[in-house]
Amino acid sequence: MEIFAAADADVAAKVRADEIRATFTLPEPRASAPRWKGEPIHLSAVTKSFGARPVLRRLDLDVPAGQFLAVVGRSGGGKTTLMRLICGLDLTTSGEVRVGESRVTGLMPQVRLLFQDARLAPWQRVLANVGIARGPHWREEAHAALRDVGLADRGRDWPSVLSGGQKQRVSLARALVSRPGVLLLDEPFGALDALTRTEMHRLTERIWTEHGFTVVLITHDVAEAVALADRVVVLRQGEIALDVPVDLPRPRTGIASAEALDLQRRILAAV
């Protein structure tokens, strides 16, 4: 019986390792990865109201080029509104938003957005979804982006056969194709299970380190904010309640240090 149990455990461990390899193989970080220019974001005295209800009140925020910023807050605190203003899906009631040199007056081609749900067109294969904007060399670019997120061999699949994490990786690849100066992440990991979420964190951190664009991550998960960002801003009732740098070494392991936990407690107190 012991032999049996031992053999079983052995096989089980092997199967599990195989499964993990099968579900997620991260490509090795490449030292020679092409870096593209991150763009700074400036908000000055931004107010946004829906009807008489102000969602953002005279908000000032500067995000230097290449920074990984996390915006934390309760639902209805104005996080998503802030993000829609930066990419130009909504316009300010008063005040000014600038991305790089240009003022945001409409949709910004250098800003890409990752939605809470992957929003893949189910009638296009994965590769066609990644190259949805169909630039001149979209096939090669889409393929390179898929390789970046570790899905090089899934280009010919329909989105419906992918897991939730894989779909979100495809949508990340889609955002990377055009080499955006700013990447906005609107709680893209919220619906994933804990293991997949950690993997997505590592992937996002790696790609950001390689390419050096500016990131604004919207999340209500304080641990996620501390695990990923250079800086955390707490948005409460349309105003900035806390603005702290996160000076933790990279790449981060996903296991919170005492310092990280302390930071999490401070941020939670402000939320």
Nearest-10 Cα torsion for 81, 86, 89, 93:
60
- Closer CB to other proteins, residue 157 or residue 221? 157
CB of 145 to other proteins, least distance (A): 13
Interface with other proteins (CB under 8 A), residue total: 27
- DSSP code of 27? P
Pick the binder of other proteins from 48, 79, 112, 206 (CB under 8 A). 112
Contact 86, 111 (CB under 8 A): yes
Give the tokens for residue 10: 């052995």
Whose structure tokens read 């579900």?
23
- Alpha helices by DSSP H, listed for the chain, are 2-23, 79-87, 126-130, 138-148, 164-176, 194-211, 222-228, 258-270
Pick the binder of other proteins from 12, 26, 91, 133 (CB under 8 A). 133
Cis bond before residue 251 (omega within 30° of 0):
yes
- Closer CB to other proteins, residue 15 or residue 261? 15
- Closer CB to other proteins, residue 7 or residue 269? 7
- Closer CB to other proteins, residue 53 or residue 134? 134
- Closer CB to other proteins, residue 104 or residue 225? 104
Judged by CB under 8 A, the chain residues 2 through 21 that form the site for other proteins are: 3-4, 7
CB of 143 to other proteins, least distance (A): 17
123 belongs to the binding site for other proteins (CB under 8 A) = yes
Pick the binder of other proteins from 79, 143, 174, 206 (CB under 8 A). 174
173 belongs to the binding site for other proteins (CB under 8 A) = no
User: What is the identity of the amino acid at 76?
Assistant: G
Q: Give me the DSSP letters along 95-146.
A: EEEEETTEE-SS--TTEEEE-SS----TTS-HHHHHTTT--TTHHHHHHHHH
Contact 186, 6 (CB under 8 A): no
- Closer CB to other proteins, residue 87 or residue 222? 87
Pick the binder of other proteins from 34, 109, 245, 251 (CB under 8 A). 109
Rg (CA), the chain: 20
CA distance 217 to 184: 6
- DSSP code of 43? E
Pick the binder of other proteins from 158, 212, 236, 254 (CB under 8 A). 158
Site residues for other proteins per CB under 8 A: 1, 3-4, 7, 87, 89, 107, 109, 112-113, 115, 117, 119, 121-125, 132-134, 158-161, 174, 178
